[in-house]
Amino acid sequence: MRTYTIDVIAGDGIGKEVAPAAVTCIDEIAAQHEFRVAWRDRDWGSDRYLADGAMMPADGIDQLRDGDGIFLGAVGHPDIDDTVTLWGLLIPIRRAFQQYLNIRPVRLLPGIQPRVTRNAEIDVVIVRENVEGEYSEVGGRAYEGTPEAMAFQQSLFTKRGITRVAEYAAQLASTRRGHLVSATKSNGLLHSMPFWDETVAETVARFPGVELESVLIDALTARMVLAPNSVDVIVASNLFGDILSDLAAAVAGSIGIAPSANVNPDRAMPSMFEPVHGTAPDIVGKGLANPVGQLWAGAMMLEHLGEAQGAAALRGAFERALADGVSTPDLGGSVSTSEFIDEVLKHIRSTAKAPGSGVTSTGTLLRGVAAQLSR
């Protein structure tokens, strides 16, 4: 039987609620599609940090190296500095495994009204640069504790880093509407963003079927709210992509629905799949967490593993639940996390009894991405 070894890092907060819930659904899918997932549970995160002083073991990265993928919930704790939690676990994994593509689809799911703009169609893929840019370790502080206290933070953009993410985005755009928006801020950031613009333009010029539109990030945020259907594929730097993906998800209903694939495209090292949202300390332990972002991330993981049918079945199951009006409170519904999962499991099982029913309806969800991911 096809078996995949996946490391699960549920992490903190609602990560510990949505990750195990999604694992249950993936196991059900696996049973029906004749594969098996060998989960390696990692109790890494803030509890470990509070007990041992480290988010993960010193050889944590090496422990993940031989796996087929990483399934992450979220990390972050109200009592611990976010730089410790994110830079102690999440960001080192992205970097050590050269997961330089961060693919974040946002789509208006069935049964959900978009926020702000009524009846808009929303089907956007944000391709975020994931290992350099504004999130860099280069910087420091000086004169601390004095009135002259200062901090500086260096952005770091490389030609290679921009080219590879722009290439992927252009390729993806060519399989969709042939339109690529590049998020920029070259009117304010004197050096980095003009370099970004030039490199993106050079790269996209190699894709004659793709029209490139460079949009200033401030204007782009307004456009995402007012005319989300004017945008299809976006290529963005680490910071801009991060901000845009919460915004796009909220416009499409809730930050709780959005998935994120941190991909190492040459597959030499494992990729990581997680929801876009964080640990949501305000709703922890209340059964209010929407598991859709984690489930959709699970579907992206299955696609990456080559289990396209299982991925489609998983997406189909949560989409059918939503289409029936079953949703968590962030989407205006009234069910709990576990009630939503029960509904998803019910749909997975009923689809298995009637092979083929409904599964293909979501096949276009990630048009092009599956093909890209499995290159």
Q: For Mg ion, give the closer residue by CB, 28 or 242.
A: 242
- Nearest Cα residue to 200 out of 189, 219, 213: 213
Residue window 251-270: x/- pattern of binding to ligand NAI, with contact defined by CB under 6 A: ----xx--------------
CB 13 within 8 A of CB 77: yes
Q: Least distance (Å) from ligand NAI to the CB of residue 280?
A: 4
Element (H, E) at 91: helix 91-96
Q: Least distance (Å) from ligand NAI to the CB of residue 285?
A: 12
Using CB under 6 A, pick the residue from 237, 279, 327, 372 that binds ligand NAI: 279
Distance CA 205, CA 199 (A): 10
Distance CA 255, CA 194 (A): 31
Read off the amino acid at residue 347: H
Q: Which does 256 bind (CB under 5 to 8 A by kind): Mg ion, ligand NAI, none?
A: ligand NAI
Residue 172: half-sphere exposure toward Cβ, Cα within 13 Å: 30
Q: Could you say whether residue 21 binds ligand NAI (CB under 6 A)?
A: no
Q: Could you say whether residue 278 binds ligand NAI (CB under 6 A)?
A: yes
Q: For ligand NAI, give the closer residue by CB, 73 or 310.
A: 73
Q: Which does 170 bind (CB under 5 to 8 A by kind): ligand NAI, Mg ion, none?
A: none
Structure tokens at 144: 């601390």
Q: Could you say whether residue 370 binds ligand NAI (CB under 6 A)?
A: no
The DSSP line for 182-238 is EEE-TTT-TTHHHHHHHHHHHHHTT-TT-EEEEEEHHHHHHHHHH-GGG--EEEE-H
Q: Least distance (Å) from ligand NAI to the CB of residue 86?
A: 6
Q: Could you say whether residue 283 binds ligand NAI (CB under 6 A)?
A: yes
Residue window 52-91: x/- pattern of binding to ligand NAI, with contact defined by CB under 6 A: ----------------------xxx-----x---x---x-
Count CB-CB contacts under 10 A for residue 296.
Answer: 30
Question: Which span sits near ligand NAI by CB under 6 A: 109-117, 218-226, 274-282, 305-313?
Answer: 274-282
Distance CA 44, CA 21 (A): 18
Is residue 143 classed exposed, middle or buried when 0-12, 13-18 and 19+ CB atoms within 10 A define those classes? exposed
Q: For ligand NAI, give the closer residue by CB, 62 or 282.
A: 282
Using CB under 6 A, pick the residue from 70, 193, 248, 280 that binds ligand NAI: 280
The residues that touch ligand NAI, with contacts defined as CB under 6 A, are 14, 74-76, 82, 86, 90, 255-256, 274, 277-283, 288-290, 293, 330
